[in-house]
Amino acid sequence: MLVERYGSVVYGPGEPGAPPTIAIKFQDGPVAEVGVNGCGVEDVVAVLLDQLDDLNRRLPCPENVHAVQELLVAVEWLAKRTALRQAQDVEGTNLPHFQPPPKP
């Protein structure tokens, strides 16, 4: 596996010289500043959900169902992150967001 911090992630079958089987171009920089130039984690999760749904239609099993459920949990957490970032006016920037204090 070859990973670049912001850019492509290329997965291959592990054999030297083999062509990549997956290439993912992640967003490089805030969309507001550089425009859309790649995908986000949410996009990759959506592709995985689509693939698992198709697989489960053809070869249904409890493991597929559990994998879909856990990916849907990931989607919820990512949506919560986005909501926090929007509420704190840092969505679309490279600034961190902060967790609100726990409720008593």
d(CA 34, CA 76): 27
Residue 58, phi then psi, degrees to nearest 5: -85, -40
pLDDT tens-digit map of 19-67: 667 778 888 888 888 999 999 999 999 999 999 999 999 999 999 999 9
Q: Give Cα separations from 15 to 9, 11, 18, 21, 24 (angstroms).
A: 17, 11, 5, 11, 19
Q: What percent of the chain has pLDDT over 70?
A: 80
Question: Is pLDDT of 9 > 70?
Answer: no
Maximum distance among all alpha carbons in the chain? Answer: 57
pTM: 0.77
Residue 37 CB: number of other CB atoms within 10 A?
A: 13
